[in-house]
Chain A
């Protein structure tokens, strides 16, 4: 694991008339519904702890109302926490004076929004320019930079259009270019692709993954869509009712769901496509026979390899070294759907 870029410690957010006075009650075990009933305060986030590695993609996932958008807005302090700490590169964001915070937002973290939030009165190129202009970069250099990013997201030729003249997918490309043009190390994406059609969404995911291969930014990506989370995220944190109920790699979450809620969540995932051989194998290659399969291969491909070579098992390799073995039975067991987690009356909002 690389070094930690963003570190969130014991973060609480309570909405209401006097949130600070409620923190201790919540720490003492008062639940979200009780807090609302007895004190008329809403518990937004409860004791969030999360370390986000540099140059990685951290997905924060949850259904609506789970607090994920609230959480991401704490990272650049669009929302002030009720209690807790946030460190970025070891510096406490919450201690920043307004001036410092502005510089932090200008140079260090940029954001992409669910509903694009483009400036409707500015042309496409002026929108991309927005963050760069605020940084105070001189006009010509800024224009060069904006032009480069606009081309990078595939919108060359649309410079002088207004956002309202573009489709949703194209508007979000502008949003992405605007965020990238500031050269910030941290990219905050708040359900950035949720408002797009499925095909365009996949398209945008590809654009993002391509860019990330090259840029190695620290990306915090919010989504309510598990397929998207698994596709994009190296790490996934799952929020429910303001609590973080599981955090780990996509493979971890599918193979070891923390509770019934997560189990339910992963019900409809195409496990054969998502699960990798390396996450299911025996870590003892000594007795292995059969064809060699790379450990990051998805189950559906590995199964085809086995079928083709009529083998019952395979040797798993990682960077040319044998690291384990896997049998056909193991693979089939792994891609079977887990039993449904929660009782029907506990289903979620």
Chain B
């Protein structure tokens, strides 16, 4: 197992070259077998998702741009209740259109909103589950740590091997990166709910479900919402990496700009991503703040 001939003071014990190669081959080979065996089944499993994603993207592109601007303005208004926000949002998207980035922007919006929706749909229940059991928390926390720290290129390899290049593997890559904050913050938010308030709920005979929906989740909402915000931001920041495996959107021209040293192209598309990020961030933050209306007032809680 160890090649003793190489051992020196500057070289710790090292595996023999042949052994190491065999090990890598073994891993590669078994994963290749696995993907040959199940790749198609997985692809079929994710087919509805692909359909949905492609459909949404087409819908966004088929929507007349004035209507799209109205919808975006409405979204900003619902979130922030501020005319400045609405005006800023509409102006940003007009500039994006003017600089001929409309199509890529719509593609990015499609993947980010699907990724965010799925992250919320999966992440919040998982977070609740973690909050209710220390054992579940102990099992899931390290997984989240791995998801957040492993370089995204590393998990792109098996994803691409399994599902090939395209929107679905891109979406999965985005989700692996973007789901941890919502899970963590849901778990944290529920665990931070005041013990005494929970005791009061118990004392009045609340069932577990009444306790969860009537007390824990409403009081955890600010944290859960911070998680949603982080998830949106992180999925936006993944669009460039995702474009490497064939996800359409603003990442594609950025990638092209990097490989060909097109400064202007990179800058414009990069700034478009930033603009979308800022809009989403401000809108979702002010929405989150409005959820905490009860925290205002002279006396601290």
| Residues of B bordering A, CB below 8 Å | 194, 196-197, 199-207, 210, 214-215, 218-219, 221, 293-301
Contact = CB atoms under 8 A, between A and B. Distances in A.
A105 B204 contact: yes
Given A121-B218, A131-B205, A165-B299, 8 more contacts: A102-B206, A105-B202, A111-B203, A117-B200, A164-B296, A164-B297, A165-B297, A167-B299
A303 B48 CA distance: 92
B297 A103 contact: no
Contacts of B298: 165
Interface string A154-186: 000000011111111000000000100010000
Interface in A101-138: 102-107, 109-111, 113, 115, 117-122, 130-131, 134-135
Contact of A120 (B199, B205, B219): B219
Nearest to B207: A102
A102 B202 CA distance: 8
Give 6 closest A-B pairs by Cβ, nearest first: A106-B205, A165-B297, A105-B205, A117-B200, A162-B294, A111-B203
Interface residues of A, number: 34
Contact of B215 (A119, A131, A182): A119
A78 B219 contact: no
Contacts, number: 83
Contacts of B214: 119, 130
Contact of B204 (A131, A164, A165): A131
Given A121-B219, A164-B296, A164-B300, A182 B204 contact: yes
A182 B200 CA distance: 13
B202 A78 contact: yes
B207 to A, nearest CB: 6
Contact of A113 (B199, B205, B215, B295): B199
Contacts of B206: 102, 134
Nearest to A132: B204
A117 B199 contact: yes
Nearest to A115: B196
Contact of B200 (A102, A107, A111, A161): A111
Contacts of A135: 205
B205 A134 contact: yes
Chain B: interface secondary structure?
Answer: helix
B242 to A, nearest CB: 37
Nearest to A107: B205
20 contacts: A78-B202, A102-B205, A102-B206, A102-B207, A110-B204, A111-B203, A113-B200, A115-B196, A119-B215, A119-B219, A120-B197, A121-B218, A121-B294, A134-B204, A163-B294, A164-B294, A164-B296, A166-B299, A167-B299, A168-B299
Contact of B297 (A105, A107, A162): A162
Contacts of B300: 164
A327 interface: no
Interface centre among B203, B214, B221, B297 (most CB of A within 10 A): B203
Given A121-B219, A164-B301, A167-B299, A105 B294 contact: no
Contact of B294 (A107, A120, A134, A168): A120
B205 A104 contact: yes
Contacts of B197: 117-120
Given A120-B219, A121-B219, A164-B301, A106 B293 contact: no
A177 to B, nearest CB: 13
